[in-house]
Amino acid sequence: MKQHVQRLIERAGYRLYREHPRDLAQPLPVELATHRSLLRAVLEERAVTTVLDVGAHTGGYGALLRELGYAGEIVSFEPVAASFEVLSARLDPLWRAQRLALGRENGTLSLHVAHESNFTSFLTSDVAVDRIEEVEVRRLDEVAGGERIFLKTDTQGFDLEVIAGACGLLDRVVGLQVELSVTPLYEGAPSWLDALRELRSLGFAATSLTGVGRRDLGAIEFDCLLVRDRAR
């Protein structure tokens, strides 16, 4: 009966959430729903035609975009061989992928492939590492384009390096999503406040901060959604 009532409520465009969640360490369902709603609004209101999905992992973000009704071009970038193989199986005619890492300069870097692969990073940390992969790194503005771009980057402490390599197309980026570390996880990664100041200086205003995880109720990371400030 409970599931039947929930389905009826969802068909009417609503959803119920527990006031006292069972697991406060993980993102709350209401947080995730807010993020989805705002992401959809940015894609629609800013008339996004191309999404650049940097650090695509196995394609979860691209799949989310399709669930939200985004039907435009997606270009995903993922350097880890095993993740890229899974990602490649999820593509559609307007969603393509490149096995590349993105950064400030072209070259080759050592990638610490973590046992929990979503913690894979160029930066060192206390996370258990399974292996090191040498991967090709390119500037984003040399391998991608588009007219009204939404740039998502999830590279475990390397996001500002990705954006530094995107300066040639940044004037066409109308929205951003970056991951910000509140609790230091990676050596050399900027603090979340320094990263926000840098993004603000580039003309982007924060729309939302969504908790990625918590430890003893303290935030570990935020997914930050930003839009280009039209006043600039």
Q: Over the chain, what is the mean pLDDT?
A: 88
Asked whether residue 99 carries a pLDDT value surpassing 90, the answer given is yes
Q: Say whether pLDDT at 232 is over 70.
A: no
- Domain for residue 88, yes or no? yes
CATH of the domain at 178: 3.40.50.150
Question: What would the pLDDT profile of 173-211 be if each residue is shown by its tens digit?
Answer: 999 999 998 887 778 788 999 999 999 999 999 999 998
Question: DSSP string covering 152-191, please?
Answer: EE--SS-HHHHHHTTTTTGGGEEEEEEEEESS--BTTPPP
Question: With 0-12 CB in 10 A as exposed, 13-18 as middle and 19+ as buried, what is 132?
Answer: exposed
What's the DSSP call for residue 209?
E
Residue with tokens 């500037």: 139
Q: What is the pTM of this model?
A: 0.89
Assess if residue 83 is contained within a domain: yes
- For residue 61, give its domain range: 24-228
Q: How far apart are CA 132 and CA 230, in angstroms?
A: 42
Average pLDDT over residues 165-180: 95
Q: What's the pLDDT band for 219 if we cut at 50, 70, 90?
A: confident
Residue 34 backbone dihedrals phi, psi, to 5 degrees: -65, -45
**113 confidence band (pLDDT: 50, 70, 90):** confident
Give how many domains the chain has, as a whole number: 1
Predicted confidence at residue 117, as pLDDT, reads: 63
Q: Strand pairing of 95-98 and 73-77?
A: parallel
Residue carrying the six token digits 């930003």: 226
Q: What single DSSP character describes residue 214?
A: E
127 falls within a domain: yes
Residue 81 maps to a domain: yes
Q: Is residue 28 part of a domain?
A: yes
* Spatial contact of 124 and 147, defined as CB atoms under 8 Å apart: no
What is residue 131's predicted lDDT score, i.e. its pLDDT? 86
